[in-house]
């Protein structure tokens, strides 16, 4: 079983230095406190928690963007520090919540999608990279892709923009996609369209997906396994069904109870 | 609190045929013939996805339309003990007396709606002084303390600046600010959208409490139908500038009479089985200048016929106090794509066994 571990996080602690005014308990804030978690290849994992719980910090630690105070992150059995940067940054892609901020308003779709290809020198410049970019748009559900190629972000709807972001990530043929609140800025009817794109990519390309989210229903819809973070602690983890049907930790129970719309789900 | 059964409380605000157009092209109707009333002590939800015209409707009610838009027709009436006040006839100076004193607003995104260089106490005091110039310093200070107290912010924090507050606390400050001049109607534009679920639940609870304690009327604007389910008496669903369905919240949610409402409810109430993805509504809401002929939803609707593409539907009565803008309303059973209530309950019971 150990050989299909994608990420192994062991006793990871991340501290942020605090400014004097906020410092009450100490000079550091523990954003993550001895978190251990395993994410297997091909598995869809959801990191669930409220803002400030440390879920985005954990995502950044996985990407090697944060220097941990202690503990370790291993990627495919290798210490993250010693992993080859260039190939890691191609294999592991991330998309963020707000497609309005992820895209450069002054660049057409073509440039946003092929930026990664240029950086990683994938394919030959010119027609070959255009072909890869168009195929990525198509895979992200923007069809026909040619009609999107020369457009600018302001000419796209929110859902289309997020799909351009996904296409930019997928153009590099990654094996891992980290999604930090990928649909929370989108309208509900569009949200499901984007999730279907991600589910399709997972099915067709065996992507390992990580969802960082405060939205329990997103975890329910997409994840195989759920890990619940609270104030930097991993309070509970397990198969999605088990965690959502039979939560053990008080915080998880509170989180599930706070989801609005009880009247919606239980028709009187 | 009014229950869905004691209908028609005394009206506080009535909006009749409100139409908002673009100044540079009056053919483009951002809000198109919208009518609704809010009763005293009642909470009405205005639901819809971005671009449907819900925020523009609210801004029109406050006389705060952006400069590129204008109200081309429609009447806004504020009913009060001293008679009815036609808001649509007010001039700018008169609006200033109504705004905040009678109708106030909790703006979308508390993060940006507060002034970063003034303490929260100063900002609340400013609103009070603007409307009550005669109020004394200590009197205003006491009001600020009371308001913060009311929304659950320690009054010792009046001297703190917005960046020193968490998102939930800032939203509480925004609510205190909205209550500063004791309005009869508070409009909440996505008041909990930027918050995580636990904080959201706390803010919604606070709003419910204030509404009961102060007898407030509320207009809650949101894209999130699940939030409205727990907080509203009545709901109006907007699509492409129009109200497409309206009625008591429990009734609309149990038996939606417009296919759009039905699909939205399916998306929110989605199947609880892990790993099931809801079926999206194909396409996207049309921009105001690119709306299709006939029913504006017909190109995304699975039940659309030739008639839907040709003939725009009226709001039809589809149940007690419920209306839907659909040629097929009232729908048989529990609405489009749904079984009759009794069948439905049997169906869901057997599937859970």
In this structure, what token pair is assigned to residue A235? 């309070």
The pLDDT mean for chain B works out to: 88
Is the pLDDT score of B5 beyond 60? no
Is the pLDDT score of B307 beyond 50? yes
- For the question of an ipTM over 0.95, the answer is no
Give the span between the Cα atoms of A88 and A44, in whole angstroms: 19
Place of tokens 């304690």: B213
Chain A contacts to B (CB-CB under 8 A): 21, 50-52, 157-159, 187-193, 195-196, 199, 214-217, 220-223, 240-241, 244, 254-255, 257-265, 267-268
**Most B CBs within 10 Å: which of A47, A181, A189, as the mutation test of the B interface?**
A189
Eight-state DSSP code of residue A259: S
Residue B57 burial (CB count, 10 A): 25
pLDDT interval class at A266 (50, 70, 90): low
Nearest chain A CA: its distance from B211 CA (Å): 19
Return the pLDDT at A22: 56
* Interchain CB distance below 8 Å, A215 and B263: no
What digits encode the pLDDT tens for the residues B253-294? 989 999 999 999 888 876 667 778 888 888 888 989 999 999
Residue B196 burial (CB count, 10 A): 20
Coarse DSSP helix, strand, coil percentages of chain B, rounded to the nearest 5 percent: 40, 25, 40
Supply the Cα-derived Rg of chain A in whole angstroms: 19
Fold entry, domain A2-265:
Rossmann fold (3.40.50)
Return the pLDDT at B119: 95
Return the pLDDT at B266: 86
Return the pLDDT at A173: 94
Classify burial at B26, counting beta carbons within 10 Å of its beta carbon; exposed 0-12, middle 13-18, buried 19 or more. exposed
| Percentage of residues of chain A with pLDDT beyond 70 | 93
Nearest to B162 by CA among B171, B154, B170: B170
What digits encode the pLDDT tens for the residues A175-212? 999 999 998 888 888 888 899 999 999 999 999 999 99
Nearest chain B CA: its distance from A239 CA (Å): 10
Classify burial at B309, counting beta carbons within 10 Å of its beta carbon; exposed 0-12, middle 13-18, buried 19 or more. middle
- Which H or E element spans position A153? none
What digits encode the pLDDT tens for the residues B134-189? 889 999 999 999 999 999 999 899 999 998 998 889 999 999 999 999 999 999 99
**Most A CBs within 10 Å: which of B45, B194, B226, B339, as the mutation test of the A interface?**
B226
**Most B CBs within 10 Å: which of A154, A162, A267, as the mutation test of the B interface?**
A267
What digits encode the pLDDT tens for the residues B8-64? 679 999 999 999 999 999 999 999 999 999 999 999 999 999 889 999 999 999 999
Residues of B in contact with A99 (CB under 8 A): none
Evaluate whether A38 touches A7 at the Cβ level (below 8 Å). Answer: yes
Return the pLDDT at A23: 52
Return the pLDDT at B346: 38
Tell me the domains of chain B and their CATH numbers. Answer: 11-239 (3.40.50.300), 242-273+287-352 (no CATH)
Is the pLDDT score of B343 beyond 50? no
Q: For A199, which of B196, B277, B285 is closest by C-beta distance?
A: B277
Average pLDDT over residues B321-326: 95
Domain extents in chain A: 2-265
Nearest-Cα residue of chain A relative to residue B270: A265
Point out which residues pair with B221 in neighbouring strands.
Answer: B46, B189
Is the pLDDT score of A267 beyond 60? no
Is the pLDDT score of A140 beyond 60? yes
Return the pLDDT at A24: 59
Return the pLDDT at A10: 96
Return the pLDDT at A139: 93
What digits encode the pLDDT tens for the residues A66-124? 999 999 999 999 999 999 999 999 999 999 888 888 899 999 999 999 999 999 999 99
Nearest-Cα residue of chain B relative to residue A253: B198
Evaluate whether B43 touches B24 at the Cβ level (below 8 Å). Answer: no
Inter-helix orientation angle B120-131/B167-179, to 10° = 10
Return the pLDDT at A100: 81
* Interchain CB distance below 8 Å, B275 and A240: yes
């Amino acid at each position: 079983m150990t050989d299909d571990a994608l990420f192994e996080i062991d006793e990871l602690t991340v501290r942020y230095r605090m400014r004097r005014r906020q410092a009450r308990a100490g000079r550091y804030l523990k954003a993550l406190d001895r978190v251990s978690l395993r994410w297997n290849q091909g598995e869809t994992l959801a990191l669930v928690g409220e803002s400030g719980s440390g879920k985005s910090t954990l995502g950044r630690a996985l990407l090697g963007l944060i220097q941990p105070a202690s503990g370790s992150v291993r990627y495919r059995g290798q210490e993250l520090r010693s992993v080859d940067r260039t190939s890691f940054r191609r294999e592991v892609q991330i998309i963020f919540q707000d497609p309005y901020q992820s895209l450069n308003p002054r660049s057409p779709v073509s440039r946003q999608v092929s930026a990664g290809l240029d950086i990683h020198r994938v394919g030959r410049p010119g027609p070959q990279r255009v072909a890869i970019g168009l195929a990525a748009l198509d895979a992200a559900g923007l069809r026909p892709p040619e009609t999107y190629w020369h457009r600018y972000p302001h000419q796209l709807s929110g859902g289309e923009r997020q799909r351009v972001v996904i296409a930019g990530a997928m153009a590099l043929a990654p094996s891992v996609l980290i999604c930090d609140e990928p649909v929370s800025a989108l309208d509900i009817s569009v949200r499901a369209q984007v999730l279907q794109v991600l589910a399709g990519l997972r099915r067709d390309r065996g992507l390992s997906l990580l969802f960082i989210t405060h939205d329990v229903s997103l975890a329910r819809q997409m994840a195989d396994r759920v890990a619940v973070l609270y104030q930097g602690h991993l309070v509970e983890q397990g198969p999605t069904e088990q965690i959502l049907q039979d939560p053990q930790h008080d915080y998880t129970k509170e989180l599930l109870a706070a989801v609005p719309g009880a009247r919606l789900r239980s028709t009187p | 609190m009014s229950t869905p059964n004691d209908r028609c409380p005394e009206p506080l605000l009535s909006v009749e045929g409100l139409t908002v157009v673009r100044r540079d092209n009056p053919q483009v109707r951002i809000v198109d013939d919208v009518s609704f009333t809010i009763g005293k002590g009642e909470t009405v939800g205005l639901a819809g996805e971005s671009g449907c015209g819900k925020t523009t409707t609210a801004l029109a009610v406050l006389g705060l339309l952006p400069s590129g838009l204008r109200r081309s027709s429609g009447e806004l009436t504020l009913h009060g003990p001293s008679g009815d006040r036609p808001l649509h006839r007010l001039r700018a100076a008169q609006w200033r007396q109504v705004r905040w004193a009678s109708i106030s607003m909790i703006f979308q995104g508390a993060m940006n709606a507060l002034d970063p260089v003034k303490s929260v106490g100063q900002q609340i005091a400013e609103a009070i002084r603007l409307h009550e110039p005669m109020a004394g310093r200590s009197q205003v200070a006491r009001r600020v303390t009371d308001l913060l107290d009311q929304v659950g912010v320690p009054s010792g924090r009046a001297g703190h600046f917005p960046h020193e507050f968490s998102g939930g606390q800032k939203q509480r400050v925004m609510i205190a600010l909205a209550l500063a001049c004791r309005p009869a109607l508070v409009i909440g534009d996505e008041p909990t959208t930027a918050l995580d679920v636990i904080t959201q639940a706390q803010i919604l609870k606070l709003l419910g409490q204030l509404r009961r304690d102060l007898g407030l009327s509320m207009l809650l604007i949101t894209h999130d139908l699940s939030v409205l389910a727990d907080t509203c008496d009545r709901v109006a669903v907007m699509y492409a500038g129009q109200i497409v369905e309206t009625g008591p919240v429990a009734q609309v949610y149990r038996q939606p009479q417009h296919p759009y409402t039905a699909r939205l409810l399916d998306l929110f109430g989605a199947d609880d089985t892990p790993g099931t993805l809801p079926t999206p509504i194909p396409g996207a809401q049309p921009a105001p200048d690119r709306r299709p002929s006939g029913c504006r939803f017909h190109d995304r609707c699975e039940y659309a016929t030739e008639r839907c593409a040709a003939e725009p539907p009226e709001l039809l009565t589809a149940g007690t106090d419920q209306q839907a803008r659909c040629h097929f309303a009232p729908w048989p059973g529990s609405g489009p794509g749904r079984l009759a209530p009794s069948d439905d309950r049997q169906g869901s019971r057997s599937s859970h066994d």
